[in-house]
Amino acid sequence: MSSAQTKTEHGHTDHNYLNHGSGIWSWMTTLDHKRIGLMYFATVSTLFLIGGFFALGIRLHLAKFGATPLLDPDTYNKFMTFHGAIMVFMVIIPGIPAFLGNFILPIQLGAKDVAFPRLNLASYYIFIAGALLSASSMIFNQVDTGWTFYTPYSTAKTSNGVILLVMGAFTMGFSSILTGLNFIVTTHKLRAPGMTMDRIPLMIWALYSTSIIQILATPILAITLLLIGAEKALGVGIFDPDLGGDPILFQHFFWFYSHPAVYIMILPAMGVISELITAFSKKTIFGYRAIAYSSVAIAAVSFLVWGHHMFVSGQSTLAGLVFSIITMFVGVPTAIKLFNWISTMYRGTVTFEAPMLFALGFMFLFTIGGLTGVFLASTGMDVHFHDTYFVVAHFHYVMVGGTLMALMGGIFYWFPKMFGKMTSDLGGRISWVLIFTGFNVTFFPQFILGAMGMPRRYFDYLPEYTNLNQISTVGSWLIGLGFLVGLITIIHGILKGEKAPNNPWGAKTLEWQTTSPPPHENFTTTPTVTAGPYDFR
């Protein structure tokens, strides 16, 4: 940045990061974390629409049993794979950290930018490259393995598209590592004067814990994906029983990343919820330290529970027992958070704007998702529920009901800060009602279907499952409609929204102390922090 630009910036009070430099090129080459955050927003939203298209395709197909009304079995498997891979690797994992995190983290810390702005931009382009590489498998050589790429099917039987998809995921993992690294260094090194570690907002604690998981777990995924690629291309034999390898080793490697990855998805969401609950209750958060440390605790425990994905893989009873018990430990820090949120609302001045509705939706849906997780963590019950729609319902409740709810809440909450404009609160509420209702209509019946024994990933089912599947399909369209309304509300807000005040919600964290939208360097003068982040009373 040349010094000339900085001077003009301070000369004009209406100068903000959105009009700091204009034209598409100034966005493409920006080093500003806020702009990079918005670029992730646009990218992830686009990918979400593509992933959603596949989801609706799957549900529409399953609306009718028997003859194949929409998709042939192969196409169904491909739809299912792309829905899963896009939603997991390209939407839910980067969604909150890369988009909201990038935008919020430096401002909440009182920093001018993340520690490594160039690296931040590089992570974005690496992500784009990875997404394109993965997406190219949709065009050239479709994959039908499911997003988990289980061996030996992925290495011995299916098309070479697996190589494209896993190398794309590998590349996106690189981006994830670099973003996490950037956040950790930023949190350690760039806090404003007076902002000690026990004064950082809970969103930061959540992102910090997430970053630790990203740094520690993603390399394992990287090597696993490289091995899958090498196995497919060269037949190295590490996962191939014919050459002495072990397909189960793949599952160990895969879940050693992918279970912690579940917390890469949910921890930032919990951070968002902590911010929303305290802001819309107008009350200091209850149990700041408990919530903060429980994030770190979840991160730590997340590495010890991967074996609960493998109860029926033939691992020893003792291993199953140990993994079962440790898995249930995750419930403790999670419950700590939930009870603290409820205690925060108790005797608070709670208002129900759209972001708060999404926060409450999160608490409701995530609780159901979490409690059904206990079923699956119990070895005996898991044998019955394994690979049924019960599992599908469970992780959709956690990932969609949890992460996407929080993401929507976070978007509506920070929207005024991002664009300097307000969204229509009514639009947000309608969107919430549709998503929340649609979500329960879609996925609650799947718990019942799973308990009745309908297996997951099948392109057809027995006639007795018809009614519940049809209800589920109707629900999926409600969700789609809800997100459409949300999208329209957001676009309408960007184009026609009223001008937002600096602090529309009366929140206390640092990002609300600067202008909406913030100037290029976030604050005109570096703030000094003298108290905790949520001093409402």
* Interface ranges with other proteins (CB under 8 A): 1-2, 6, 111-113, 115-117, 119, 177-178, 181-182, 184-185, 188-190, 215-216, 218-220, 222-224, 226-227, 230, 234-238, 240, 242-246, 249, 253, 521
Residue 226 or 335 having the CB closest to other proteins: 226
Q: Closer to other proteins by CB, 87 or 261: give it.
A: 261
Using the minimum distance from each CB to other proteins, give the nearer residue, 254 or 341: 254
Least separation in angstroms between residue 231's CB and other proteins is 8
Query: Which of 306, 385 has the CB closer to other proteins?
Result: 306
Structure tokens at 491: 């676009």
Judged by beta carbon, residue 220 or residue 354, the one nearer other proteins is 220
Nearer to other proteins, 222 or 468 (CB): 222
Give 208 or 432: the residue with its C-beta nearer to other proteins: 208
DSSP 295-328: HHHHHHHHTT-GGGG-TTTT--HHHHHHHHHHHH
Output the smallest distance, CB 329 to other proteins, in A.
23
Q: Which residues of 195-219 are buried (b: 16+ CB within 10 A; e: fewer)?
A: beeebbbbbbbbbbbbbbbbbbbbe
CA distance 176 to 214: 7
CA dihedral for 95, 98, 99, 100, sign (positive or negative): positive
> Rounded distance, CA 226 to CA 247, Å?
15
State in angstroms the smallest separation of the CB of 192 from other proteins: 11
Give yes or no for a contact between 520 and 17, defined as CB atoms under 8 angstroms apart. Answer: yes
* Residue type at 59 in one-letter notation: R
Q: What is the DSSP letter of 91?
A: I
In the complex, what is the shortest distance from the CB of residue 465 to other proteins, in angstroms, rounded to a whole number?
Answer: 36
Residue 499 pairs in a beta bridge with 421
* Min dist. Cβ of residue 510 to other proteins (A): 15
For helices 331-345 and 247-281, what crossing angle results, to 10°? Answer: 10
Smallest distance, other proteins to C-beta of residue 16, A: 17
Q: How far is the CB of 119 from other proteins (least distance, A)?
A: 8
- Tokens 């329209």 found at: 488
CA–CA gap between residue 64 and residue 291 (Å, rounded): 45
Own/partner contacts of 303-309, CB < 8 Å, gap of 24 or more, are 303/213, 303/216, 303/217, 303/256, 303/260, 305/259, 305/329, 305/330, 306/252, 306/255, 306/256, 306/258, 306/259, 306/260, 307/255, 308/259, 308/376, 308/377, 308/382, 309/251, 309/255, 309/258, 309/259
Is the Cβ of residue 302 or residue 344 nearer to other proteins in the bound state? 302
Looking up tokens 């034209």 gives: 23
User: Which residue, 112 or 309, has its beta carbon nearer to other proteins?
Assistant: 112
Q: Which is nearer to other proteins, 229 or 268 (CB)?
A: 229
Q: How far is the CB of 225 from other proteins (least distance, A)?
A: 10
Contact 91, 47 (CB under 8 A): yes
Give the nearest distance from C-beta 110 to other proteins in angstroms.
Answer: 11
Taking the alpha carbons at both ends of the chain, their separation in whole angstroms is 41
Residue placing its CB nearer to other proteins in the complex, 260 or 333: 260
Cβ-based nearer residue to other proteins, 172 or 479: 172
Tokens linked to 287: 């149990």
- Nearest distance from C-beta of residue 177 to other proteins, angstroms: 5
Report in angstroms how near the CB of residue 239 gets to other proteins at its nearest. Answer: 10
Q: How far apart, in whole angstroms, are the C-alpha atoms of residue 399 and residue 91? A: 11
178 sits in the region (left: phi over 0; alpha: psi -120 to 50; else beta) called alpha
> What is the three-state SS of 230-260?
HHHHHCCCCCCHHHCCCHHHHHHHHHHHHHH
Question: Is residue 429 classed as helix, strand or coil in its secondary structure?
Answer: helix
157 to each of 161, 458, 509, how far by Cα in Å?
Answer: 11, 18, 53
Min dist CB 159 to other proteins, Å, is 14
To the nearest whole angstrom, how small is the minimum distance from the Cβ of residue 213 to other proteins?
A: 12
CB closer to other proteins, 227 vs 354? 227
Contact between 220 and 253 (Cβ < 8 Å): yes
Question: Measured between alpha carbons, how far is 236 from 244 in angstroms, rounded to an integer?
Answer: 10
Encoded tokens for 223: 């090597």
